DNA sequence: ATTCTTGCAAAGCCTTTGCAACTGC
DNA sequence: GCAGTTGCAAAGGCTTTGCAAGAAT
């Protein structure tokens, strides 16, 4: 978490419960839902489903793989999580209470660095207007080497030349 | 192909052959390689591996699924194709002789609309500089409904209200 | 002749799904 | 009690890989 969090009036759990209850066919709020929201909003920023499953198990919580996948989808619909597609894998991060941003992804250490760029939002809206395109979302990822990995590669190269 | 093509001095096939021949371990230029480059640069702009396999078959060319995947990877390394990751699937498009651009992807008809935005490149470089990030590439996709699909949805909604 | 490439089928990875048992409301 | 949820295991979609046979240089 690099960026400042926003003020929010409800806890994530309350918001999820509300989302589930509303709608034409109310959905139920289960123990598994509660455990997942509690865990996710106590820690993470970026995570893949598989990582989450491992960590949840280590925490002693019992939720099946299928339920984790199903609940992640609901959390995205509820506006609590954002879904990022990086490589072939879906990653998730907090959406509720956290500002929109883009990512630099290190191809070596897989670190994800968040950034915001002032003009980006206006740019996106302008492009959509020009093409009469009704935007639903976007993904913007810059791949490469982070400062640390780049530095260590430089070091290695210097040593190799000796 | 919406954007103007660039002047290039070599044919894609020549460029691929050259790429394969150079390097510490020269690779071979096979009939399958030639057929794929010929086919891809005679037609497509955007395509997934599976589409390509179907079309290649219909054209009467015989190349196995494994070889298509392996050759696509080489074509990307050679700088002839760019790889786009959209959803869980990899798409490919011409890189050689075609300018850098971004995509609007319609979630209904899966149309891909290309766009260029003047300030984008400078923006990316600026962000990388700030984070001392050594960029290798980027992907920028805006999801939503294209003008056509949006229009037809409007129509339908209007009819539903009658 | 040597080394790289092909084709096949099998495995891999991540994610989704059918179904019977279960549980929130 | 009714409808939605869980867990399991199996299937799904896309991509990669091991290996023996084949082809380019």
Give the model's pLDDT for residue B152: 86
Tokens of B36: 């794929």
**Shared domain check, B89 and B11:** yes
Q: Fill in the DSSP letter of residue B60.
A: T
**Does nucleic acid strand D have an atom less than 7 angstroms from the CB of A78?**
no
Instruction: Output the pTM of the full model.
Output: 0.90
CATH number at residue A34: 1.10.10.10
Task: Say how far apart CA A142 and CA A145 lie, in whole Å.
Answer: 10
- For residues A87 and B84, the answer to whether their CB atoms sit within 8 Å is no
Final residue belonging to a domain, choices B48, B81, B99: B99
Angstrom distances, CA of residue A146 to CA of A51, A102, B75, B130: 22, 15, 26, 11
Task: Please give the distance of CA B24 from its chain centroid, rounded to a whole number.
Answer: 28
Pairing relationship of beta strands A102-106 and A112-115 according to DSSP bridges:
antiparallel
Final residue belonging to a domain, choices A77, A99, A121: A99
Is residue B97 classed as helix, strand or coil in its secondary structure? coil
| pLDDT score of A23 more than 90 | no
> Taking the CB of residue B96, how many other CB atoms lie within 10 A of it?
19
Q: Do A142 and B150 touch (CB under 8 A)?
A: no
**Shared domain check, B62 and B41:** yes
**Shared domain check, B111 and B142:** yes
Tokens of B19: 């790429």
Final residue belonging to a domain, choices B99, B114, B130: B99
User: Where do the H-state alpha helices sit in B23-146?
Assistant: 31-42, 49-58, 65-77, 120-130
Q: Digits of tens for pLDDT over chain B (162 positions)?
A: 678 777 678 999 999 999 999 988 999 999 999 999 999 999 988 999 999 999 999 999 999 999 999 999 999 999 999 999 998 999 999 999 999 999 999 988 889 999 999 999 999 999 999 999 999 999 999 999 999 999 988 887 777 776
Give the model's pLDDT for residue B1: 63
**Shared domain check, B89 and B125:** no
Is residue A8 classed as helix, strand or coil in its secondary structure? coil
- Asked if A127 has any chain B CB less than 8 Å from its own CB, the reply is yes
| pLDDT score of A5 more than 90 | no
| pLDDT score of A149 more than 80 | yes
**Shared domain check, B88 and B44:** yes
**Shared domain check, B154 and B91:** no
Q: Do B87 and A85 touch (CB under 8 A)?
A: yes
**Shared domain check, B87 and B60:** yes
Give the model's pLDDT for residue B41: 97
Residue whose tokens read 């597609």? A85
Task: Say how far apart CA B73 and CA A12 lie, in whole Å.
Answer: 43
Establish, for the pair of chains A and B, how many residue pairs have beta carbons separated by less than 8 Å.
113
| pLDDT score of A29 more than 90 | yes
- For residues A30 and A71, the answer to whether their CB atoms sit within 8 Å is no
A88 CB neighbours in chain B (<8 A) are: 85, 88, 90
Rounded average pLDDT over A66-94: 96
C-alpha triplet A77, A80, A84: angle, nearest 5°: 75
pLDDT band for A71, please (50, 70, 90 cuts).
Answer: very high
B119 CB neighbours in chain A (<8 A) are: 119, 123
Rounded average pLDDT over A23-27: 92
Backbone angles phi, psi at A33, to 5 degrees: -60, -50
Residue span of the structural domain in which A160 resides: 100-162
Q: Return the closest nucleotide (C1') to the Cα of A33.
A: D5
Q: Fill in the DSSP letter of residue B44.
A: -
Q: Do B128 and A85 touch (CB under 8 A)?
A: no
A82 CB neighbours in chain B (<8 A) are: none
Task: Say how far apart CA A96 and CA A6 lie, in whole Å.
Answer: 8
Report how many domains make up chain A.
2
Mutate to test the interface with B, among A2, A91, A127, A150 (most CBs of B within 10 A): A127
Pairing relationship of beta strands B134-145 and A134-145 according to DSSP bridges:
antiparallel
Q: Do A144 and B133 touch (CB under 8 A)?
A: yes
Give the model's pLDDT for residue B45: 84
**Shared domain check, B13 and B72:** yes
> Which helix (H) or strand (E) is B21 found in, with range?
helix B12-21
**Shared domain check, A11 and A49:** yes
B107, B61, B150, B78: which is closest to A129 by C-alpha?
B150
Q: Which residues touch strand C (CB under 7 A)?
A: A 28-31, 48-50, 65-66, 69-70, 73, 88-90; B 20, 25-28, 30, 32-33, 62-67, 70-71, 88
pLDDT band for A130, please (50, 70, 90 cuts).
Answer: very high
**Shared domain check, A120 and A43:** no
**Shared domain check, A106 and A76:** no
């Amino acid at each position: 978490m690099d960026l400042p969090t926003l003020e929010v009036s409800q806890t994530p759990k309350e918001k999820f419960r509300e989302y589930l209850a509303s709608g034409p066919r109310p959905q139920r709020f289960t123990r598994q839902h509660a455990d997942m929201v509690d865990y996710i909003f106590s820690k993470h920023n970026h995570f893949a489903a598989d990582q989450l499953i491992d960590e949840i198990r280590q925490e002693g919580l019992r939720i099946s793989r299928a339920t984790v996948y199903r609940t992640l989808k609901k959390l995205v619909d509820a506006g609590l999580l954002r879904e990022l597609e990086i490589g072939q894998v879906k990653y998730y991060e907090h959406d509720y209470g956290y500002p929109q941003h883009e990512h630099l992804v290190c191809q070596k250490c897989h670190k994800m660095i968040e950034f915001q760029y002032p003009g980006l939002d206006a740019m996106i809206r302008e492009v959509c207007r020009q093409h009469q395109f009704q935007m639903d979302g976007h993904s913007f990822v810059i791949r490469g080497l982070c400062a640390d990995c780049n530095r260590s590669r430089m070091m290695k190269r210097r040593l190799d030349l000796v």
